[in-house]
Every structure is written in structure tokens, then in C-alpha cells.
Amino acid sequence: MSKQRAKLVIGNWKMHGRLAENAALLQAVAQGAAGLPAEVGVGVCVPSPYLAQTQSLLEGGRVLWGVQDVSAFTHGAYTGEVAAPMVVDFGASLSIVGHSERRAYHRESAELVAVKTQRALEAGLTPVVCVGETLEEREAGSTEQVVGDQLDAVLVKLSEAEAARIVVAYEPVWAIGTGQSATSDQAQAVHAFLRSRLTAKGAAVADVPLLYGGSVKPDNAEELFRQPDIDGGLIGGASLKAQDFLAICKAAAATSVVS
């Protein structure tokens, strides 16, 4: 008997892209994704100024789009912020929240990430909540403590029904942009731990997609995605190359059915 497992692959472009190269990338991704099986979800999180362009090129296709952060406020005198309802105006359905780069460089606390998650949910976006430990924290043996606290800070603010609408991404800080991915065993161990925390929140939350991020490439994606608690990936550098991103989506397709 074979069991269907849905997979989800989301690109995080970070602060990359210009109009001309975006057009080529989005068109190639839309075209390549069209041939993927239905159980593979694909999305791209672009810099906010390119939302209109992204909408115009992806609308009507199967690739979802969104942003990499949202404000903790819905509107008001918050210079430079982008509110979740503004993003929804451009057909977006995703927002990353709590990426380690925002936690580190913008001093975002676990509580702020939780509020941003609430704002995203209220606006109808799917928040992709990122958690992950630094190398020092891993070496000190506190990985579960760190990612557990980061996840709990979000879960405590949500009802079971709200929590069932999030996506969680485990991104070990030491694996991001370094070319040194977590091994599939390391990632699976943390995912199993996160799954148990989600399950403790309620039965409806047990199956939220748990993505792995951190140096996912075409040559390691399949091995990672084969792990029982890894439901796909959040892809940085490799999402900027259509061929690599689509190869990772194909790895998701190859692992979406287990016998």
C-alpha cells in the first residue's frame, strides 16, 4: 500500500532580484512547476516591491507567492513597515516570519515573531514560522530548548484552529548559506521533536507542514525530504536559479509517495 504525503517547497529570495531577472525566474518556475504532481506545493517569497510583478506572472498558475516578513501592526505610523493586508492586496498567500536573519539583524524577539504570526493569520496569509539554533547552541546541547521555546512562544498565542494554519520551518542558523546542510538524521531528529510539540497543541496541529531549510540543494534535497517528519524545504540560494529550484521541487515529487 502506498501512502500519499504532501510536500511543500518554498523559495526565500531574501534581498535578491531585479525586474528583468525576476521575470525570467518566475516564468521558468511557473512553467516547470506546471508539470509537478498535485501533492507538491510550490511557493516563492519575494522582496515586497516585486509583489505586483510576481502576481502578474504567477496568477492563475499553481505557484503561490508571498513575502519574507510582515509588520506586527495592521496600519499606522510605522515608517518602512509592510502590513499583512497590503501583501494580501497583491494576491499573496504566504509570509515568512521569524527568519533567523530578522531575529539576529533586527533583534526580533520570540514574542514579536508570535505577534507577526497573528497578524499574518488575521490577514489570511499562511505564516511560515522559522525556528533554529546557532552553532554555539547546538554545541552546548540546547537545540531542543531553543527551537522548542521559539515554537512555543508562537503556539501559546494561537488557538488550535489558528495553529493548524501555520507552516513551521526548521532552519539551523549554522546551515544557512554555508553550504553545510544538516544531515538528514540531524534534521529528522529536530523535526520529530517539533512534531511532538505541535501534536501537544492539539490533534489538528499535528500535521502542519514542517519544512527544513539550510543549504538545501538539488543533490541533497531528496535524502532530506525522505525523512518521515520533513515535509519539504525552505530554499534560499538555490531558489534564485530556476533549474536548481525546480530540481528541488522534483525531489519533493519523488518523495511525496512512499510505499
Catalytic residues: 99, 171
Interface with ligand 13P, residue 104, by CB under 6 A: no
Which among 59-67, 204-212, 234-242, 246-254 is the span making contact with ligand 13P, rule CB under 6 A? 234-242
Q: Is 12 in the site for ligand 13P (CB under 6 A)?
A: yes
Q: Which three cell numbers stand for residue 161?
A: 484552529
CA quadruple 140, 143, 145, 149: dihedral positive or negative?
positive
Give the span between the Cα atoms of 20 and 147, in whole angstroms. Answer: 38
Q: Could you say which of 143, 215, 255, 256 contacts ligand 13P (CB under 6 A)?
A: 215
Site for ligand 13P (CB under 6 A): which residue of 43, 66, 213, 232? 213
Interface with ligand 13P includes 214 (CB under 6 A)? yes
**Contact assessment for residue 196 and residue 151, using Cβ atoms and an 8 Å cutoff:** no
- The footprint of ligand 13P on residues 140-199 (CB under 6 A) is 171, 176-177
User: In angstroms, rounded to a whole number, what is the distance separating the alpha carbons of residues 70 and 76?
Assistant: 14
> How near is the Cβ of 250 to ligand 13P at its closest, in Å?
17
Using CB under 6 A, list all residues that contact ligand 13P.
12, 99, 171, 176-177, 213-216, 234-238
